[in-house]
Amino acid sequence: MAVVKMLAVTLIGPKTEMETVARLMVLTGGFQPLPLDLLLKDRSVRSKITTASDNPYDELLVKLSEVWQAAGERVPDPLPVPISPDFSLDRASRAVNDTVRRLSLWSKRREELLEEREELEAAQILTASLAERGLSLADLADTTYLVPLFGKLTDENYRRLEEATLEAPLLLEPLLSRHGFTWFLGLTAPGYREGAKKLLESLYFRGFSLKEMASSLAGDPQAQLSRRIDNAQKAIEGLKRAAAEVLQSNRESMEHLYASIYTMQRVYDLCRGRGELSGLYLLSGWIPEDTLQRTLQLVEREAPKTTVHIEELGEIPYTGIRIPTLLRNLPLVRAFQDVVALYSLPSYGELDPSFFVAVSFCLFFGFMFGDVGHGIALTAAASILQRKRIMSRSMGTVLKSAGAASMLFGFLYGSVFGVEGWIPAFWISPMEDMNRLLGVSIGVGVSVITFGMILNMISCYRARDFGRLLFDGKGLAGMVLYLSMAAIGYAALTGQRMPFPSWVPWTFLSALLIVILMRDFLARLLLRQRTHEEGGLYAFEVLHNLLNFLSNTASFVRLAAFALNHVGLSLAVMMLSDMVRNLPGGILFKGIILILGNVVIVGLEGLIVFIQTLRLEYYEFFSKFYKGGGRAFRPISFRGARPQARPGSART
């Protein structure tokens, strides 16, 4: 359980080796680029560094992807391929242009045919609607006192247009709703022509000219339009088949070319973060410390003229850049990193609470949801959802761990599907010993809160902040104060007499409170430690911590409350099933009630207990030691952004 140590690496070498170095960093997948100017304080040096801007392989990748799009196929998933030294941008450009020259003409013609088909379909929709109303295109085209507007909008934008026309001289007649679009005919006054056009343009209106439609149609428009649409569709399909034949005959070479260009695109994405200074090329970023030797060996073998400069940096105050956080845990604990990340990722150098969360999460969940049968059902459901990929792998592991904890506590409680007595209780029966269950839940709360303060003291020790370690309300003084208050409360509730006068504990508590209030003064006086005066704000923080001691401890009563609630709900389901047993078909109804009732308990109550477990983690446990605010380590990898098709290239 650790936050991996990170190193700032700067690679300096000639231009001939920079692409090789960048390719190594991409394929190893353990390098997060960092802009060079952020690492340099000296503005005069920063001003001399020039950086790359556009990626020259982006356009080539888009062009080449159109080969598969023209053939109606999905662009292949690229794999990293070795790049030969003679592979260059000019050579790649020639290869791509030679490949797509003929296809680009076909693609252009296909776009023209798609546009023509859409106009013909629009004319078909309009003429059919007009024929139903006894009108023709000529009637609309010759209108003198009204301006007709015909086209389509998305269904949502059409509803917005209807609302807007309540205050505008625009009459709408919907003609057809299909595939998320509404085709309509609008009529407006000549004086409002420009206003109507602006209104429609703001809603991304696709309009069609009625005069052009009328001039291109004669005789039987419906038969003529159907024939022309069929011809356009046949031509589109013919171009698609031709493109597919070209792709099929050269598939292997084109896929290799695509993979090569994709590899170089990822390399140049990394190179865009590099800089040039006096003929040398620089590339900087973060790497995990345990990958340093492998990186040095690769660079020494593949780029012998490149120098590697390594630094151990803290925060970079003049840029606001923070060291990224990389967590490395055991496989089971790794799943609970997502639970921690829901709150916040640990900042670099901070304690990683993932292991403690894995243990305490299962403890809290099992305590509140202890049942052998329901634990088995929860584990089975999580396994099925995880296998069908409805649930993420990490969340599935968390729920299966919670289900296993439920089964364990179910044996301790002697509870199977909410029924106590089917198996012997190895520890405690919630319904028969409520007071003991309540006491244990409070004891768990005191232990967890105390452990949180111990973790806080460890963090203070690692930061060499001994003032907070010894005198803070979440440090040693605060922990002794909290445990003393807990002991006094326990004695008062159980009626036990303390072996010393009553004024002694109160004097001791007062002294501890004074120590906490004078934290900064004592740190300066006894430890010679420079501190930041917080004045009245710190006094308010101390008061807040004292109230939190009480509220956080009381919050753990929910462990016992939900354990009893689980038994109560299960008994309610059993009683309800018994009530219908003597009715006609009672056995069937009883089985249905038992099944549905247990499904509700596992689903609904399981969700509530899950939320309550997160609350105990985040508010009662994390508040004692954890700050978070880290940024995840995101190395550049071979898998990057897929090329985006040009507008219209994906239309069918």
By the 10 Å C-beta count (0-12 exposed, 13-18 middle, 19+ buried), 651 is classed as middle
Question: Is the model's pLDDT at 30 over the cut of 90?
Answer: no
Cα–Cα dist 241/247, whole Å? 10
- What confidence tier does 469 reach under pLDDT thresholds 50, 70, 90? very high
How do 147-154 and 181-188 pair as beta strands?
antiparallel
Residue pair 364/355 in contact (Cβ under 8 Å)? The answer is no
The mean pLDDT value for 161-184 works out to 86
Residue pair 71/65 in contact (Cβ under 8 Å)? The answer is no
Residue 650: the pLDDT is 41
The mean pLDDT value for 297-309 works out to 87
Residue pair 239/246 in contact (Cβ under 8 Å)? The answer is no
* Candidate from 30-44, 354-368, 517-531, 537-551 with smallest mean pLDDT: 30-44
- What confidence tier does 526 reach under pLDDT thresholds 50, 70, 90? confident
* H or E stretch at 114: helix 89-132
CB-based contacts of 617, cutoff 8 Å, min separation 6: 339, 343, 357, 360, 361, 364
- CATH 3.30.70.2750 location in the chain: 111-236
* Candidate from 309-318, 386-395, 463-472 with smallest mean pLDDT: 309-318
Cα–Cα dist 362/392, whole Å? 19
Residue pair 228/120 in contact (Cβ under 8 Å)? The answer is yes
Nearest to 108 by CA among 66, 149, 50: 66
Average pLDDT of every residue of the chain: 82
Residue 168: the pLDDT is 80
Cα–Cα dist 573/253, whole Å? 66
Residue 645: the pLDDT is 46
Cα–Cα dist 53/35, whole Å? 12
Match 């022309």 to its residue by tokens. Answer: 228
Q: What are phi and psi of 88, to 5 degrees?
A: -130, 170
Q: Assign 2 to helix, strand or coil.
A: strand
Q: Assign 582 to helix, strand or coil.
A: coil
Question: Is the model's pLDDT at 145 over the cut of 70?
Answer: yes
- What confidence tier does 378 reach under pLDDT thresholds 50, 70, 90? very high
Question: Is the model's pLDDT at 128 over the cut of 80?
Answer: yes
Output the six-digit token pair for 474.
């979440």
Residue 218: the pLDDT is 63
Q: Assign 80 to helix, strand or coil.
A: coil
Question: Is the model's pLDDT at 642 over the cut of 60?
Answer: no
* Candidate from 45-59, 319-333, 395-409, 532-546 with smallest mean pLDDT: 45-59
Match 């509730």 to its residue by tokens. Answer: 493
Residue pair 273/35 in contact (Cβ under 8 Å)? The answer is yes
How do 170-178 and 147-154 pair as beta strands?
unpaired
Cα–Cα dist 21/283, whole Å? 9
- What confidence tier does 576 reach under pLDDT thresholds 50, 70, 90? confident
Residue pair 394/385 in contact (Cβ under 8 Å)? The answer is no
Q: What are phi and psi of 628, to 5 degrees?
A: 75, -150
Residue 62: the pLDDT is 82
Residue pair 270/25 in contact (Cβ under 8 Å)? The answer is yes
Question: Is the model's pLDDT at 188 over the cut of 50?
Answer: yes
The mean pLDDT value for 343-355 works out to 91
Residue 652: the pLDDT is 43
Output the six-digit token pair for 466.
């001994």
Nearest to 570 by CA among 599, 545, 547, 590: 599
Residue pair 57/89 in contact (Cβ under 8 Å)? The answer is yes
Express as a percent the part of the chain with pLDDT over 70: 88
* Candidate from 127-136, 172-181, 397-406, 642-651 with smallest mean pLDDT: 642-651
* Candidate from 16-30, 130-144, 285-299 with smallest mean pLDDT: 130-144
Name 325's bridge partners. 632
Cα–Cα dist 572/603, whole Å? 16
3-state SS, one letter per residue, for 544-580: HHHHHHHHHHHHCHHHHHHHHHHHHHHHHHHHHHHHC
Question: Is the model's pLDDT at 314 over the cut of 50?
Answer: yes
Residue 536: the pLDDT is 57
Alpha helix locations (H) across 344-392?
354-368, 372-387
Express as a percent the part of the chain with pLDDT over 90: 23
Output the six-digit token pair for 330.
């055991």
Question: Is the model's pLDDT at 509 over the cut of 80?
Answer: yes
Residue 456: the pLDDT is 93
Report which of residues 497 and 330 the model is more confident about.
330
* CATH of span 111-236: 3.30.70.2750
Question: Is the model's pLDDT at 467 over the cut of 80?
Answer: yes
Cα–Cα dist 562/472, whole Å? 34
Residue 651: the pLDDT is 45
Nearest to 513 by CA among 541, 534, 493, 537: 541
Q: Assign 327 to helix, strand or coil.
A: strand
Residue pair 348/26 in contact (Cβ under 8 Å)? The answer is no
Cα–Cα dist 210/151, whole Å? 10
* Candidate from 128-132, 301-305, 369-373, 431-435 with smallest mean pLDDT: 128-132
* Candidate from 7-11, 246-250, 506-510, 584-588 with smallest mean pLDDT: 246-250
Residue 102: the pLDDT is 67
Report which of residues 505 and 344 the model is more confident about.
344
The mean pLDDT value for 592-618 works out to 92
The mean pLDDT value for 83-108 works out to 74
Cα–Cα dist 631/321, whole Å? 10
* Candidate from 67-71, 199-203, 349-353, 357-361 with smallest mean pLDDT: 67-71
Residue 369: the pLDDT is 94
Residue pair 338/394 in contact (Cβ under 8 Å)? The answer is yes
Query: Per this entry, what is the length of the chain?
Result: 652
Output the six-digit token pair for 548.
């939190």
Output the six-digit token pair for 208.
């069609």
* Candidate from 42-46, 507-511, 543-547 with smallest mean pLDDT: 42-46
Match 């070479």 to its residue by tokens. Answer: 253
* H or E stretch at 535: none
The mean pLDDT value for 319-333 works out to 82
The mean pLDDT value for 417-430 works out to 84
Nearest to 638 by CA among 62, 25, 24, 26: 26
Residue 412: the pLDDT is 93
Name 311's bridge partners. 8
Residue 318: the pLDDT is 44
Cα–Cα dist 110/474, whole Å? 71
Name 85's bridge partners. none
Cα–Cα dist 294/296, whole Å? 5
- C-alpha angle with apex 423: 417 to 426, nearest 5 degrees? 110
- What confidence tier does 45 reach under pLDDT thresholds 50, 70, 90? very low
DSSP type of residue 518: T
Residue 458: the pLDDT is 93
Residue pair 236/113 in contact (Cβ under 8 Å)? The answer is yes
Report which of residues 362 and 582 the model is more confident about.
362
Alpha helix locations (H) across 49-88?
57-70
pTM given for the model: 0.68
Query: Alpha carbon of 114 to those of 206, 238, 241, 652: distances in Å?
Result: 15, 13, 16, 7
DSSP string, 198-245: HHHHHTT-EEE-HHHHHHH--S-HHHHHHHHHHHHHHHHHHHHHHHHH
CB-based contacts of 511, cutoff 8 Å, min separation 6: none
Residue 352: the pLDDT is 93
